[in-house]
Amino acid sequence: MTPETRTRVLDALRRQHVELPSWAFGNSGTRFKVFPQEGVPRTPQEKIADAATVHRFTGVAPSVALHIPWDKVDDYTALSAYAASEGVALGAINSNVFQDNDYKLGSVTNPDAGVRRKATDHLLECVSIMDATGSRDLKLWFSDGTNYPGQDSIRGRQDRLAAALSEVYDRLGDEQRMLLEYKLFEPAFYTTDVPDWGTAYAHCVRLGEKAQVVIDTGHHAPGTNIEFIVAFLLREGKLGAFDFNSRFYADDDLMVGAADPFQLFRIMFEIVQVGALDPDYGIAFMLDQCHNIEAKIPAVIRSVMNVQEATAKALLVDVEALTSAQESGDVLDANAVLMDAYDTDVRPLLRDLREDMGLDPEPLKAYARSGYAEKIRADRVGGEQAGWGA
Amino acid sequence: MTPETRTRVLDALRRQHVELPSWAFGNSGTRFKVFPQEGVPRTPQEKIADAATVHRFTGVAPSVALHIPWDKVDDYTALSAYAASEGVALGAINSNVFQDNDYKLGSVTNPDAGVRRKATDHLLECVSIMDATGSRDLKLWFSDGTNYPGQDSIRGRQDRLAAALSEVYDRLGDEQRMLLEYKLFEPAFYTTDVPDWGTAYAHCVRLGEKAQVVIDTGHHAPGTNIEFIVAFLLREGKLGAFDFNSRFYADDDLMVGAADPFQLFRIMFEIVQVGALDPDYGIAFMLDQCHNIEAKIPAVIRSVMNVQEATAKALLVDVEALTSAQESGDVLDANAVLMDAYDTDVRPLLRDLREDMGLDPEPLKAYARSGYAEKIRADRVGGEQAGWGA
Amino acid sequence: MTPETRTRVLDALRRQHVELPSWAFGNSGTRFKVFPQEGVPRTPQEKIADAATVHRFTGVAPSVALHIPWDKVDDYTALSAYAASEGVALGAINSNVFQDNDYKLGSVTNPDAGVRRKATDHLLECVSIMDATGSRDLKLWFSDGTNYPGQDSIRGRQDRLAAALSEVYDRLGDEQRMLLEYKLFEPAFYTTDVPDWGTAYAHCVRLGEKAQVVIDTGHHAPGTNIEFIVAFLLREGKLGAFDFNSRFYADDDLMVGAADPFQLFRIMFEIVQVGALDPDYGIAFMLDQCHNIEAKIPAVIRSVMNVQEATAKALLVDVEALTSAQESGDVLDANAVLMDAYDTDVRPLLRDLREDMGLDPEPLKAYARSGYAEKIRADRVGGEQAGWGA
Amino acid sequence: MTPETRTRVLDALRRQHVELPSWAFGNSGTRFKVFPQEGVPRTPQEKIADAATVHRFTGVAPSVALHIPWDKVDDYTALSAYAASEGVALGAINSNVFQDNDYKLGSVTNPDAGVRRKATDHLLECVSIMDATGSRDLKLWFSDGTNYPGQDSIRGRQDRLAAALSEVYDRLGDEQRMLLEYKLFEPAFYTTDVPDWGTAYAHCVRLGEKAQVVIDTGHHAPGTNIEFIVAFLLREGKLGAFDFNSRFYADDDLMVGAADPFQLFRIMFEIVQVGALDPDYGIAFMLDQCHNIEAKIPAVIRSVMNVQEATAKALLVDVEALTSAQESGDVLDANAVLMDAYDTDVRPLLRDLREDMGLDPEPLKAYARSGYAEKIRADRVGGEQAGWGA
């Protein structure tokens, strides 16, 4: 690595920004069982405190996404100030129109107009919350869909979806964006109303510039080439955000990079090639994971580190050599240039980065030594642990 | 259809036996939300009453499988008598070693010997319950597995699994069987300790004749040919039971026959070809489904009817013509013979069957007219609705 | 079925139009082996004669798609006249930019500008052939992609693709269309340049109204809901054509309806709901299949019949009852309305249709009796059998 | 890395043995096109020469598997001597019962007894060739299966398969083994007669100790956990061999380690944990790949290096720390121990190994400098290039 390369890579890594989801610190599980953990937050403030802890040890996770109503509070300005006092900012507002009994057959695509109204109103409420928190991004994931052929009109549901999105889009302020997420299946098991990037993209194109697509890395059919979607949406100017996690099967929501670190590297390479890593580019790099069986704060720290390692490797690709091999049609050389970067052990570089940033080079060990885990286990007794239930 | 064929088919259909799961009548859902329904049972007795209702309208569902501890009672003899008074028998006992906090890292494969002991003791307890209920079958499904590479030893977990199975096998009475279920994934997302039929088969072979494999039709990787597995296990004498349901994606647990009725027909054709439909053959044909958004009792009635229709079509295959086309290598003719049966509308035949059996030819309409739904909605107020939670 | 329904359904079925691919009559196989069959055509004319034979027995397959250069002739006007004399018209022109040695690393997306020029020129040549044959549709399938990460720039290839499509689009006459096909993988095994409907759609939107998406039913990832894509593209006015076939695994190219007849029915239901079955609507319903081991002409007849049966069932759905059940949120009833149509045996209706149309009610039997198979086996001796090789 | 670890790892790597397939050096492709390459061998001898070249630069590929009839010669003793003179040995004999016109509907499972006889005779002939070459392993892959439901009896085909396997098994000498390969699909598209490891395993158990299962890493359904199968078969003593390659979709046959290097590492970790890397353990580690678009000899060199790198990482896992973390149920620590090994850059270690072995530390560069590529391009002009065709 030349000194110039090292400087370039370190500069990029220093500016990297990974957004943490408040809900990663609460309990989660599968339909079979939620295994509670000791020390889990009971309030939005405690979730923010945990997220701020992750930032304190990693240095690159300075914002927290909220989930409404899981993180509903009376005073968002105060919550924002609390976050600032902890050293982090509030990030994207995630709407939730899947947990009310009314949403059994859908939210904004429900055949019942009253339910649609209720769901759309919730989305509008989220924009109001954004006004209060100063959040730029409204992240929309719809669990809407059907379980049985014939259950509802596929086309009719698209009409209803388009109407709701349009109403919410019109409510956005000048600096606000709508991020539309897609997902192949679950909880709907026959049709999902936004099942793939093409559907999200087509809606976003119709809505306008403030509508962008979210790629959740666990939301695809087997065999889907995610980095292709990344490259395509970047070329179209329609990639708004990532929900990072990893999976072996379906939407497993494991720690990002745990299942296929090479895939994460390829995704990040598409990002860094066009300069989209820089926060000013406008892509939100968020985690969206479930730490069902592992300790939550260390799992988030590890996830941030996994993103950093993939990014560092992506930044190390010798683009000049790669382009030259590609242009000459040398399949093996081009592949070798990419693999050379991937095969590099970037952990020493990241340790140096952290020391440069005034951090402990080993975030997990530093966290373990910090006593934070023991403290929250002792302090957070009683009350109701946060989870997906509300 | 010749009169002989008609007689043969009707005789087989009259003897058909579909076992109902008690838990299909309770609330169920996804990790995102359980939508409660009115009139859902609060007790094992109420579940049995619902199952008996399904049997009353279909005539081919004379037994109910129990799930322990969801259906735990103090007096199983009394429960058995209650079921008999409702016109049904108690069927397989399903163990549950996935909902205690201790099972976070596994039950019989847990690295902790104490947890393994607890889990194995639960399985032994289930055999004692079988002694009381007179059930023939112990159905074992293990959620055991790992979420992350390295989390535990794949091989070590097999050793622990084998030890527990062996201990439970030895406890079985002469007329009792162990049915071992496999599942590709969920809730474990990296390894599952019994992920495929090969694993279940190998363990059952080692255990002995009383150990048999269960095929849950929703537990396979995409592209898996389930009727091949059916045929193979039948040939090996190792097919013990089905858990019927259907899926488009993963373990969706939709109504059997709803997603791919042609597949269900092909499965039933492998069954009827070797005479394995007959209850004396020893295969338990159970439903295992989740009626998350649809009315539960009608969904179970519909499911039983779907199995009947697929079976009727399978019984209509002109085996002589099929064999002749197969032996002469006529691909299109052989396929056409099979499709001729599948394309037949068997609903009139099934209406006749029901009238022969003294039933209403239209079970769903008859149920709707019966007032049972209104009655349970009115009666079952208060108390705690049954679900997966306990 | 009321007389009005019967009339409506028969009228629609009488106007149905399935386009046959010339190449279905030639030899085909897998990378492991092509099993030649006796009587296979040696020339485009013989392929057309076979296609006309299928039309003679089915009555709903009045056009033949050509594949260039497999069907290259000196005089397309004469070929067109020959087709007319056989009772069929020439249909879509399918380009082939995947069989020249130059295309090893791609055609219009090749890193080499010279190869791109050659490929684009071939596409332009196809438009000239369309001018001569009077074909409306240019069907584009690109095998372009990469096998290894790093091999080429994902984004750069999109730029090259867009440039080539644009040049060809500009060459189209007023009545001509470009149909862009997508495919998940094969022959490329890492990236494919048009891998999914979203990519094809985005390019078509940029190109303009004459560019439309082709859905090949075998070109999706496992779990993809094809009828959703059908409904979505119809709503967007961007569904141009189908390549019908069926599959259990990948792009198996089996006879349409053979693997999942229920899926075909659901697809056709989305079509008939919006009146898109009518030839005037503009959707081309083509077959694109490989009859590797079964007799080719009967396989094509059977395929046409499978499409007819799925269509007839789709036309029988009681839309009023369905809509009512959907609007009231009755999941089971809505599903039951759809299934009632699917469970109907429509073969008697189709036999009546054929007799109405002056055809034998049993096309396969009539073909078998016709002596055509014996004739071509006797006549087509010597020469080079048609296949994919040229 | 402690000196002890280093010594242990280097010793293991020095003894590693990867077997090369003769056919990797011939032309290959997809059903759409085979792109010929210059310098491709025309004879078994030239293939052996290419394989020997790979061994010369890597030092760990001392044997070549043959494919009959692709590598049929009159005098196998002479061929064996030729191989020895080139510095390599002849390895497994691969049978081929999929390319004769007679095998359209299957080989050993064909409904026609004459075809079955012919196929079985070929397998017996392969054992005779083994007698001549001194090969230990007969590798059996059957393309047998069906394309359409009803085409043939699933069960009947198993009976025929079992009969053929048994006859061939009985012919094996004391030191010879039968290796049975499974594959999900292709070229059969509905049923495959040996579709999964369970089927291969069950047949091998019945046959006896000399029958072992082959894992081809590209032959599984999406989501299959291959290292689980490795661990399970090792525990059962039934893992005979690997066919290494990699895939993103189906049986893509890309270079091993190219698609998912982390998976290859996990597979090799299961191997090294039980000492199965050692050639004396009896597992044959073979490549089975298609270099459709990349230069063949360098692709094979790269593949060998990829296996080495994955193996080196697997050998570096701190098993004591791993076991300790596993036993204490520390999910994150256990995963971290595994990832620490995976994240290590082992290329310097492998360069040292090669220098220790008297090799150039950079095999690909050394090969490029050697002039071998230029020589074969110049020498191998005329004649018929080897490929799958014969």
Flag whether D390 is in a domain: no
Instruction: For B216, list phi and psi in degrees, rounded to 5.
Output: -95, 120
Per the listing, tokens 């059903």 go with D31
A221/A215 Cα distance (integer angstroms): 13
Please tell me the total number of residues recorded for chain D in this structure. Answer: 390
Say if the Cβ atoms of D185 and C143 lie within 8 Å.
no
Q: Do residues C331 and A147 make contact, with C-beta atoms less than 8 angstroms apart?
A: yes
Q: Do D148 and C190 touch (CB under 8 A)?
A: no
* Interatomic CA distance for residues D30 and C188, integer angstroms: 9
Dist CA A36 CA A386 (whole Å): 10
Taking CB atoms and an 8 Å limit, are B148 and D334 in contact across chains?
yes
For A325-329, what is the mean pLDDT?
98
Q: Which residue of A has its CA nearest to B187?
A: A30
Contact A302 D331 (CB under 8 A): no
- φ, ψ at A18 (rounded to 5°): -110, 125
The two structure tokens encoding residue D48 = 């052996």
Identify whether B86 is part of a domain: yes
Residue A324, Ramachandran bin (φ over 0: left; ψ between -120 and 50: alpha; else beta): alpha
**Nearest CA-CA partner of A192 in A264, A259, A251:** A251
- Compute the distance between CA of residue D157 and CA of residue D146 in angstroms, rounded to an integer: 10
* pLDDT value of position B116: 98
- Where residue B297 sits, what CATH number does that domain have? 3.20.20.150
The two structure tokens encoding residue D304: 């060998």
Tell me which residue range forms the domain holding D81.
3-379
Over residues C70-102, the pLDDT tens digits come to 999 999 999 999 999 999 999 999 999 999 999
Tokens linked to A108: 């904004």
pLDDT at A292: 97
Give the model confidence (pLDDT) of C236-251 as tens digits. Answer: 999 999 999 999 999 9
Q: State chain C's mean pLDDT as an integer.
A: 97
The sign of the dihedral angle between the CA atoms of D164, D166, D167, D169 is positive
Cα C46 from Cα D111, distance rounded (Å):
32
Q: What is the pLDDT of residues B131-144, one digit of tens each?
A: 999 999 999 999 99
Residues 290-319 of B with CB under 8 A from D: none
Cα–Cα dist C262/A150, whole Å: 12
Token reading at B309: 């229709």
The predicted-structure confidence for D169-227, as pLDDT tens digits, reads as follows: 999 999 999 999 999 999 999 999 999 999 999 999 999 999 999 999 999 999 999 99
Residue A388 pLDDT > 90: no
Q: Two tokens at B342?
A: 């599948």
Q: Does D293 map to a domain? A: yes
For residue C133, which of C93, C189, C87, C86 has the smallest C-alpha distance? Answer: C93
What band does B159 get if pLDDT is binned at 50, 70 and 90?
Answer: very high
Whether C215 is in a domain gets the answer yes
Average pLDDT estimate for C262-275? 98
Type and span of the H or E element at B207: helix B197-207
Give the residue among C47, C127, C86, C63 at the shortest CA–CA distance from C286: C63
pLDDT tens, position by position, B376-389: 999 999 999 999 86
Q: Which of residues 360-389 of B touch D (CB under 8 A)?
A: none
Q: How far apart are CA A290 and CA A294, in angstroms?
A: 9
The pLDDT > 70 percentage for chain C reads 99
For chain A, the distance separating the N- and C-terminal CA atoms, rounded to the nearest angstrom, is: 50
Q: How far is residue D115's CA from residue D107's CA, in Å, rounded to a whole number?
A: 6
Q: What is the mean pLDDT of residues A285-313?
A: 98
Beta strands in chain D (DSSP E): 18-21, 63-68, 89-95, 137-140, 145-146, 177-181, 191-192, 211-216, 239-244, 284-287
**Nearest CB to A222; choose among B29, B149, B222:** B222
Nearest-by-CA chain D residue for A263: D260
Stated as kind and residue range, the H or E segment containing C314 is: helix C296-316
Q: Which residues pair with B34 in a beta bridge?
A: B29
Cβ of B196 and D196 within 8 Å?
A: yes
> Which chains are within 8 Å of A by 3+ CB pairs?
B, C, D
Q: Quick one: which H or E segment has residue B235? A: helix B226-236
pLDDT in tens, C168-194: 999 999 999 999 999 999 999 999 999
CB A331 within 8 A of CB A301: no
Q: Specify the DSSP class assigned to residue B274.
A: T
In a domain, D159, yes or no: yes
Contact list in B for residue C364 (CB cut-off 8 A) is: 332, 336
- Mean of per-residue pLDDT scores for chain A: 97
Closest-CA residue to D41 (of D18, D71, D11): D71
Predicted structure pTM score: 0.98
DSSP single-letter state for residue B255: P
In a 3-state reduction of DSSP, which class is residue B190?
Answer: coil
B185 reaches A (C-beta below 8 A): yes
Asked if D29 has any chain C CB less than 8 Å from its own CB, the reply is yes
Count: domains in chain B:
1
Q: Which of A285, A298, A390 is nearest to A70 (CA)?
A: A390
Transcribe A335-354 into DSSP letters: HHHHHHHHHS--HHHHHHHH
**With contact defined as beta carbons under 8 Å apart, do B155 and D235 qualify?**
yes
Residues of A with Cβ-Cβ distance to D345 under 8 angstroms: 343-345
Element (H, E) at A140: strand A137-140
Tell if the CB–CB gap between C231 and A266 is shorter than 8 Å.
Answer: no
Closest CA to C283 of C169, C168, C139, C142: C139
Q: Which of B19, B96, B30 is nearest to B251 (CA)?
A: B30
Q: Does C260 touch chain B (CB under 8 A)?
A: yes
Residues A25-50 have a mean pLDDT of 97
What would the two tokens of residue A377 be?
Answer: 């286990």
The answer to whether the Cβ–Cβ distance between C190 and D250 falls below 8 Å is no
Helices (H), B37-146: 44-58, 76-86, 113-133
- Per-residue tokens: A222: 């087997």
Sign of the torsion angle spanned by Cα atoms D196, D197, D203, D207: positive
Q: Which residues of B touch A141 (CB under 8 A)?
A: none
**What are the structure tokens assigned to B284, written together?**
């338990």
DSSP string across B31-46: SS-B---TT--SSHHH
- Tell me how far apart the alpha carbons of residues A121 and A114 are, in angstroms, rounded to a whole number: 11
Bridge pairing between strands D191-192 and D145-146: antiparallel
Distance (Å, whole) CA B227 – CA D195: 12
* Rounded Cα distance, D384 and D390, in Å: 10
3-state SS of chain B: helix, strand, coil percent to 5? 50, 15, 40
Alpha-carbon gap, residue B335 to B337, rounded angstroms: 5
* pLDDT < 50 stretches in chain D: 390
Specify the residue for token string 């349409």. C256
| Contact at CB, B155 and D196, closer than 8 angstroms | no
CA distance, residue B339 to nearest chain C CA (Å): 9
Compute the distance between CA of residue A260 and CA of residue D381 in angstroms, rounded to an integer.
44
Q: Which residue has the tokens 């990532």?
A: A242
**Confidence band, pLDDT 50/70/90 cuts, at residue C388:** confident
* Angle, CA of B221, B226 and B229, to the nearest 5°: 110
Q: CB pairs below 8 Å between B and D: how many?
A: 158
On the 0-12 / 13-18 / 19+ scale of CB atoms within 10 A, A184 is buried
Distance of CA A360 to the CA centre of its chain: 25
Question: Looking at residue D389, what is its pLDDT?
Answer: 67
Of A146, A148, A150, whose CA–CA distance to A109 is shortest?
A: A146
Residue D387 lies in a domain: no
- The count of other CB atoms within 10 Å of the CB of residue A85 is 10
In this model, does residue C269 exceed pLDDT 50? yes
Q: What is the H or E stretch that residue D263 is in?
A: helix D261-273
Residue A122 and residue A68: Cα distance in Å, rounded?
Answer: 9
CB-based contact A62:A88 (threshold 8 Å): yes
C265 domain residue, yes or no: yes
Model confidence pLDDT, tens digit, residues C110-149: 999 999 999 999 999 999 999 999 999 999 999 999 999 9
pLDDT of res. C390: 44
Distance between CA C188 and CA C278 in Å, rounded?
36
B20: helix, strand or coil: strand
Residue C370 lies in a domain: yes
Give residue C85's Cα distance to chain centre. 23
